[in-house]
C-alpha cells in the first residue's frame, strides 16, 4: 500500500472508536449537509454535539474531521504549541489572504506574529478609541432613529457602514493603505494621485474584485487588459460617434413613452406611501440598451416576467453577492452553493440569447453582401423572428470590425455586447432615480428643469425629443452632473499594480490593489464647497466661480480608460427625464429630512427603495 493509503487505513481504524453518526460509503457524512441552508448547518452541528456529548467525527468523502465542543478538549487543542496548523478549509482563503497570519504556519507564522503583535500595543490602539467613539455615536444615532421609526434593526448593515466611515476618516484628503492579510490595498482620495492612476495607461489592469464579472462578461472591454483592451477600445470607440448616438435618441423616445404608460398606472393607484420608481426606470433602461446594443426589443417594460429580463436581474444580484460577501468569494465552495446554480442557469439564458442574435445578424449581413442592392434593401426591412430591427450600431460595428485582419469571433462579440448590457442599464437607472430624488427635494431645481424643457421642446407633449433638442437642455445637464457628484452610479473603482511603481513620491509595491471612490471624492469638503448640498450651478462654466479639477469629479472615471458610454448615458438620461418631467411633477414620498442610507456596492443603491408620487401637469 502507498503511504497515503496506509495513512487513510490508519485514520479509518482509529475513527471506528470515535462517536458520530453512521457514515455512508464514499460520501461519509456529506449527505447530512446536502441542500441545507447555512443556518440549518449550524443547527445540525449543534444537535450532533448534544447527541454525542460534545465530541463527534465527520467524514466528508475521505476527509476526516473531529468536532470538539468540550472545554477540556478545546483547552488541549488551543493551548498546544504543536497543533497550530489550520484545517484544510482555510485553504480556500489562500486565494485572497495568501499566507497571511490567519493561514500561515510554522516558522513563518511565528515570525509574522512577532512583528505584528506590537501593532496592537495599547499606545497604538489608544488614538483609535476616539474614532471608534465618534463612529459609534453615529451608529447610535442611526439605531435611535430606527427604533423611533419602529423598524426592525438590521445590525449587520449599520455596523458595515460604521466601519466604512472609519476607513474614510483615515483617508480624508489622502491616500491610505489597508492590509487585508498579505494583500495591500490603497484607497486613493486626492486628485493628484487619482490623476497619476487614471491619467495614463500604466495602471490599466482591473482589481481582483472584477473577476466576479468574468463568467458573464468574459474578457469584454470593462475587464480586459493589455493589447486586447487597446485594440477593442479602438474599434468600439466609433460606435459612440455622435452620428450613431443621434439614431439612438428615437429608441430613448419610444422607450420613455412606454415608461410613461407604466407611470400613469402608478399615478392612478395614488397610494399613500407612493411607489418605487426605480423598478420601472430600470426596465426602461434595460429595453433601451438591449435595442441599441443588439437591435432587438425584449419589451422588458411590458413583459417583466420574460426569461431574459429575469436572468439579467438574477445575474446582477449574483454579482453583488459575489463581490461583497466573503462566503461567495472562494471558487471551490462557491461552486457548491445555490447561488452558483442560479448563476449558471441565468448565464445560460443570457449567453444563448446574445449568441442567437449574433449568429442571426452575421448571416443577414452575409446574405446582404451577396445580394443585389434592391434585394438587400428589401431584406433590410424584414424583421427576423427575434424582432431584429435595423438600428444595430454596436453589434454591426463589431461584426464588421477586424483585429489583425481577422474578423471578431462570435465569442469576441458576445463579451462586448454583454458588457454593454451590464454597464449600460443599472448605471443609468441609478442616475435617473437619484436625479428625480434630488429635484423632488429641491422644488426650485425641478421648476427650472421643467421651464427649460418646455422652452426647448415646446408645450406640445407629443413632440418627440431629438439629439439637437436634448443638447440644448443646459440646466437639466447641470442637475444630472450634480446628481452624479453626490450619487455616482459606480461608487468605487479598482486597479491592480502589476509592477512596483511610484505615485507622487509614494512607492507602491507590485500586487497592490488601488481603490478610488467617486462617491467619497464627490463629497469631500476640500474638493467641493458645501459638499452635501445639491447645487447644480457649481457645474456651470459660465457662472460658477469654482474651478473643477477633472480628477476630483470622476463619476465616469477619467483618463484613457474612462466610461466609453458617457455621452450615450447623458443623452438617455436627458431623454427619459425630459419626457417624464413634461408630463408629471415629481414628489418624494419618503422622509425628506433624512438622507437615504446608501449602499456602495457595484452600483450605488439605497438601503430602502426611494418612494415617489406623481402629479399630472395640466399647464
Taking alpha carbons only, the member of 575, 492, 613, 485 closest to residue 245 is 575
Q: Is 188 in the site for ligand HEM (CB under 6 A)?
A: no
Q: Is 431 in the site for ligand HEM (CB under 6 A)?
A: yes
Name the residue nearer to ligand HEM (CB basis): 256 or 489.
Answer: 489
Query: What are 176's strand-pairing partners?
Result: 187
How far from chain centre, in Å, is Cα 397? 27
Site string for ligand HEM, 220-239 (x = CB under 6 A): -xx----------x------
One-character DSSP codes across 34-55? TT--HHHHHHHHHHHHHHTTTE
Q: Is 427 in the site for ligand HEM (CB under 6 A)?
A: yes
Options 316, 438, 489, 517; binder of ligand HEM; rule CB under 6 A = 489
Name the residue nearer to ligand HEM (CB basis): 493 or 575.
Answer: 493
**Nearest residue to ligand HEM on Cβ basis:** 565
Q: Is 491 in the site for ligand HEM (CB under 6 A)?
A: no
Cα gap 582→83, rounded to integer Å:
71
- Cβ atoms of 423 and 556 within 8 Å: the answer is no
Cα gap 447→616, rounded to integer Å:
14
For residue 129, the tally of other CB atoms under 10 A from its CB is 10
Q: Is 428 in the site for ligand HEM (CB under 6 A)?
A: yes
Q: Is 565 in the site for ligand HEM (CB under 6 A)?
A: yes
Number of residues that bind ligand HEM (CB under 6 A): 24
| 3-state DSSP assignment of residue 310 | helix
Which positions ≥6 away from 397 have C-beta within 8 Å? 235, 236, 238, 239
Name the residue nearer to ligand HEM (CB basis): 329 or 495.
Answer: 495
Determine the straight-line distance between the first and last CA of the chain, rounded to whole angstroms. 91
Options 28, 295, 491, 555; binder of ligand HEM; rule CB under 6 A = 555
Site string for ligand HEM, 192-221 (x = CB under 6 A): --------------x--------------x
Number of residues written out for the chain = 619
Q: Is 561 in the site for ligand HEM (CB under 6 A)?
A: yes
Q: Is 517 in the site for ligand HEM (CB under 6 A)?
A: no
Q: Is 556 in the site for ligand HEM (CB under 6 A)?
A: yes
Name the residue with cell 410613461: 260
Name the residue nearer to ligand HEM (CB basis): 191 or 424.
Answer: 424
Name the residue nearer to ligand HEM (CB basis): 339 or 600.
Answer: 600
Name the residue nearer to ligand HEM (CB basis): 215 or 555.
Answer: 555
Q: How far is the CB of 240 from ligand HEM (least distance, A)?
A: 8
- The stretch among 60-68, 268-276, 404-412, 422-430 that binds ligand HEM (CB under 6 A) is 422-430
For residue 345, the tally of other CB atoms under 10 A from its CB is 15
Nearest 5 degrees, angle CA 420-CA 426-CA 432? 120
| 3-state DSSP assignment of residue 611 | strand
Q: How far is the CB of 556 from ligand HEM (least distance, A)?
A: 5
Options 299, 557, 579, 606; binder of ligand HEM; rule CB under 6 A = 557
Q: How far is the CB of 138 from ligand HEM (least distance, A)?
A: 28
Q: How far is the CB of 217 from ligand HEM (least distance, A)?
A: 9
CA distances from 365 to 222, 294, 295, 376, 380 (A): 27, 14, 14, 9, 9
CA distances from 437 to 125, 480, 522 (A): 41, 11, 17
Cα gap 374→506, rounded to integer Å:
65
Which positions ≥6 away from 51 have C-beta within 8 Å? none
Element (H, E) at 612: strand 611-616
Q: Is 564 in the site for ligand HEM (CB under 6 A)?
A: yes
Q: How far is the CB of 479 from ligand HEM (least distance, A)?
A: 13
Q: Is 392 in the site for ligand HEM (CB under 6 A)?
A: no
Tell me which residues touch ligand HEM (CB under 6 A).
206, 221-222, 233, 419-420, 423-424, 427-428, 431, 488-490, 493, 555-557, 561, 563-565, 568-569
Amino acid at each position: 500500500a502507498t503511504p497515503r493509503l496506509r495513512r487513510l487505513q490508519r485514520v479509518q481504524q482509529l475513527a471506528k472508536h470515535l462517536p458520530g453518526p453512521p457514515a455512508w460509503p464514499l460520501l461519509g457524512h456529506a449527505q447530512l449537509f446536502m441542500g441545507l441552508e447555512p443556518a440549518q448547518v449550524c443547527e445540525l452541528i449543534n444537535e450532533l454535539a448534544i447527541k454525542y456529548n460534545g465530541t463527534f467525527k465527520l467524514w466528508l468523502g475521505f476527509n476526516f474531521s473531529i468536532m470538539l465542543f468540550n472545554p477540556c478538549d478545546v483547552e488541549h487543542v488551543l493551548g498546544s504549541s504543536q497543533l497550530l496548523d489550520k484545517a484544510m478549509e482555510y485553504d480556500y482563503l489562500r486565494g485572497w489572504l495568501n499566507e497571511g497570519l490567519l493561514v500561515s504556519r510554522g516558522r513563518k507564522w511565528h515570525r509574522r506574529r512577532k512583528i505584528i503583535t506590537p501593532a496592537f500595543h495599547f499606545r497604538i490602539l489608544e488614538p483609535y478609541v476616539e474614532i471608534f467613539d465618534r463612529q459609534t455615536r453615529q451608529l447610535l444615532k442611526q439605531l435611535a432613529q430606527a427604533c423611533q421609526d419602529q423598524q426592525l434593526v438590521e445590525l449587520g448593515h449599520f455596523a458595515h457602514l460604521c466601519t466604512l466611515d472609519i476607513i474614510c476618516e483615515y483617508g480624508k484628503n489622502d491616500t491610505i493603505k489597508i492590509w487585508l492579510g498579505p494583500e495591500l490595498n490603497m484607497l486613493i482620495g486626492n486628485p493628484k494621485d487619482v490623476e497619476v492612476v487614471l491619467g495614463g495607461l500604466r495602471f490599466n489592469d482591473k482589481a481582483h474584485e472584477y473577476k466576479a464579472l468574468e463568467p458573464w462578461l468574459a474578457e469584454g472591454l470593462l475587464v480586459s487588459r493589455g493589447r486586447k483592451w487597446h485594440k477593442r477600445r479602438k474599434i468600439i470607440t466609433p460606435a459612440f460617434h455622435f452620428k450613431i448616438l443621434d439614431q439612438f435618441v428615437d429608441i430613448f423616445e419610444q422607450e420613455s413613452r412606454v415608461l410613461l404608460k407604466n407611470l400613469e398606472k402608478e399615478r392612478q393607484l395614488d397610494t399613500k406611501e407612493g411607489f418605487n420608481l426605480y423598478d420601472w426606470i430600470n426596465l426602461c433602461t434595460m429595453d433601451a440598451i438591449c435595442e441599441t446594443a443588439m437591435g432587438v426589443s425584449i419589451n422588458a417594460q411590458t413583459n417583466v416576467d420574460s426569461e431574459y429580463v429575469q436572468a439579467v436581474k438574477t445575474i446582477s444580484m449574483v454579482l453583488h453577492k459575489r463581490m461583497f460577501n466573503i462566503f461567495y468569494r472562494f471558487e471551490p465552495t462557491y461552486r457548491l452553493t445555490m447561488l452558483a446554480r442560479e448563476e449558471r442557469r441565468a448565464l445560460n439564458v443570457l449567453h444563448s440569447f446574445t449568441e442567437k442574435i449574433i449568429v442571426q445578424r452575421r448571416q443577414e449581413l452575409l446574405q446582404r453582401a451577396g445580394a443585389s442592392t434592391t434585394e438587400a434593401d428589401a431584406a433590410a426591412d424584414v424583421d427576423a423572428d427575434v424582432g431584429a430591427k435595423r438600428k444595430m450600431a454596436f453589434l454591426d460595428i463589431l461584426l464588421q470590425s477586424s483585429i489583425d485582419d481577422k474578423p471578431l469571433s462570435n465569442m469576441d462579440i458576445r463579451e462586448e455586447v454583454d458588457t454593454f448590457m451590464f454597464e449600460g442599464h443599472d448605471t443609468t437607472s441609478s442616475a435617473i432615480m437619484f436625479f428625480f430624488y434630488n429635484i423632488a427635494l429641491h422644488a426650485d431645481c425641478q421648476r427650472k428643469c421643467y421651464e427649460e424643457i418646455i422652452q426647448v421642446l415646446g408645450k406640445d407633449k407629443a413632440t418627440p425629443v431629438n439629439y439637437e433638442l436634448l443638447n440644448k437642455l443646459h440646466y437639466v445637464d447641470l442637475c444630472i452632473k450634480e446628481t452624479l457628484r453626490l450619487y455616482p452610479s459606480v461608487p468605487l473603482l479598482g486597479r491592480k499594480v502589476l509592477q512596483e511603481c511610484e505615485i507622487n513620491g509614494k512607492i507602491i509595491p507590485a500586487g497592490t490593489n488601488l481603490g478610488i471612490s467617486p462617491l467619497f471624492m464627490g463629497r469631500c469638503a476640500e474638493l467641493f464647497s458645501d459638499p452635501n448640498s445639491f447645487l447644480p450651478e457649481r457645474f456651470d462654466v459660465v457662472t460658477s466661480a469654482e474651478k473643477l479639477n477633472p480628477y476630483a469629479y470622476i463619476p465616469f472615471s477619467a483618463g484613457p480608460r474612462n466610461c466609453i458610454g458617457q455621452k450615450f448615458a447623458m443623452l438617455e438620461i436627458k431623454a427619459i427625464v425630459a419626457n417624464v418631467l413634461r408630463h408629471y411633477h415629481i414628489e418624494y414620498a419618503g422622509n425628506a429630512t433624512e438622507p437615504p442610507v446608501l449602499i456602495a456596492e457595484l452600483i450605488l443603491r439605497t438601503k430602502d427603495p426611494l418612494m415617489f408620487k406623481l402629479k399630472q401637469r395640466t399647464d
